[in-house]
Amino acid sequence: MQAEVDLPWAVARGIVDAVGDYESKCFSASDVWRRVRWAFVTSLAGALMSCQRSPAPESGPTLQATAAAKPAQRAATTSGAASSKPNAASASGEFPRVVAARYPGGPRIVAIGDLHGDLRATRDVLQLVGAIDAKGAWVGGNLIVVQTGDQLDRGDDEREILDLLENLRDQAKKAGGAMIVLNGNHELMNAQGDFRYVTPGAVGDFRDVQPAPRAAAGAARVPPALAGRAAAFFPGGKYARLLASRETIAIVGDSVFAHGGVHLTHVRYGIDRINSEVSAWLNGKGGEPSVVVAAEGPVWSRAFSLPKPSDEACEELGQVLAALGVKRMIVGHTVQEAGITSACGDRVWRIDVGMSSYYRGREVMALQVRGDEVEVLRKVKTSH
């Protein structure tokens, strides 16, 4: 099986190497060209490896099995997780209660958007909101921080960010605060084996990770350069299990947080059920939940993040907020060119501002919620 995967990888690498002279003469191996070259190699290799599989959809999430084995049928979830049977409450028009994903509010809540592998931006924004000191230790006291996903891809510092946020989660809890980190589409893409957005500098970050039994079969099918990453993120792997401990949707005080957005479909399906099924999948105990990886899933939807959401979207937003008993939705995922913005009468706040170096390091910004007061915090980012 290894030869089956390495052949298309080698073909892709050979095609790109054929333009090596052009690169050296015209681009002088610039960082931009190296990134373009790597993206082309990984995308072409993924396409070649997918030739005998079902084609990916033309829009929405790309369920490209760059290396992952075909997901198993969804297994019954473990104790405490929701059943995978149809939700009786949704059939009757009622909404399941949210229990596990609901956190009490606090005097001060801050929300942070996409980080995409940029440790400098991560530290900058955490210092901006008063969560950490210059050494990276928690100094936020009872502060509640919610990071809305996409720590992975497009940057070289992914492992450092994952480890930092996990350490801060423990420190914040001891200090009476909270660091709540959500899964975004890029975390789930890595669990699916979609490595198209991995940068050259991040390829070796997980080389020392040994595959857990549940992740071993999939890890053996990837190109050698990505074996450590597959061992880390394929369901059952070391970092997949870390992601399994996080929510996909969370309610904190009177705000609901998700990477992409929460629709009525998700409320009827059950917020706790969604989180439980994602956790089971990442732990290697079930298949990927279709309601999450769908084009309008909570990590993929952009309906509330358009410059001007439709009237229908705003109407649905109001119904979602009413059903969940909250006042606002806070999402990342879609870069806002003008910085943090709100829409639908300030009922949705969009906080992905492209502060990672991939987007040329725009302003470092966060959203602060104090009771009914919502404020944008910002700091002009220094050059890398």
Characterize the bridge pairing of strands 144-147 and 178-181.
Answer: parallel
Looking at the structure, do residues 3 and 138 belong to the same domain, yes or no?
Answer: no
Binned at pLDDT 50, 70 and 90, residue 380 comes out as low
**Residue 379's pLDDT band (cuts 50, 70, 90):** confident
Domain presence at residue 16 = yes
Count structural domains, the chain.
2
> Does one domain contain both 358 and 326?
yes
> Are 118 and 2 in the same domain?
no
| pLDDT digits 0-9 by tens, 232-271 | 999 999 999 999 999 999 999 999 999 999 999 999 999 9
- CA-to-CA distance for 338 and 229, rounded, in angstroms? 34
For residue 294, which of 269, 313, 276 has the smallest C-alpha distance? 269
Known catalytic residues are 186
Lowest mean pLDDT across 12-21, 201-210, 336-345, 374-383: 12-21
Domain span at 35: 1-52
Three-state DSSP class for 250? strand
pTM as predicted: 0.78
Inside any domain, residue 317: yes
Q: Is residue 384 part of a domain?
A: no
**Binning pLDDT at 50, 70 and 90, where does residue 221 land?**
confident
Q: Are residues 35 and 63 in the same domain?
A: no
Q: What distance in Å separates the CA atoms of residue 299 and residue 314, rounded to the nearest whole number?
A: 18
- Same domain, residue pair 8 and 43: yes
Which residue, chain included where needed, has tokens 């071993």?
A: 216
Cβ neighbour number for residue 333 with a 10 Å cutoff: 26
Instruction: Give a yes or no: residue 251 inside a domain.
Output: yes
Q: Is there a domain that residue 88 lies in? A: yes
User: Quick one: average pLDDT of 43-67?
Assistant: 39
As a whole number, the mean pLDDT across the chain is 82
Question: Is 130 in the same domain as 176?
Answer: yes
pLDDT at 312 over 90: yes
Q: Which of these three, 31, 52, 73, is where a domain ends?
A: 52
Domain end residue (candidates: 33, 52, 71): 52
Distance of alpha carbon 48 from the chain centroid: 26
- Write down the pLDDT at residue 144: 98
Asked which of 52, 74, 90 is the last residue of a domain, the reply is 52
Tell me what pLDDT residue 178 has: 98
> Does residue 15 register a pLDDT over 70?
no
Confirm whether 228 is domain-assigned: yes
What CATH number should be reported for the domain holding residue 248?
3.60.21.10
Residues 179 and 270 in one domain: yes
Distance CA 166, CA 259 (A): 18
pLDDT digits over 321-356, tens only?
999 999 999 999 999 999 999 999 999 999 999 999
CB 114 within 8 A of CB 352: yes
Asked if 165 and 230 sit in the same domain, the reply is yes
Instruction: Choose between 210 and 20: higher pLDDT.
Output: 210
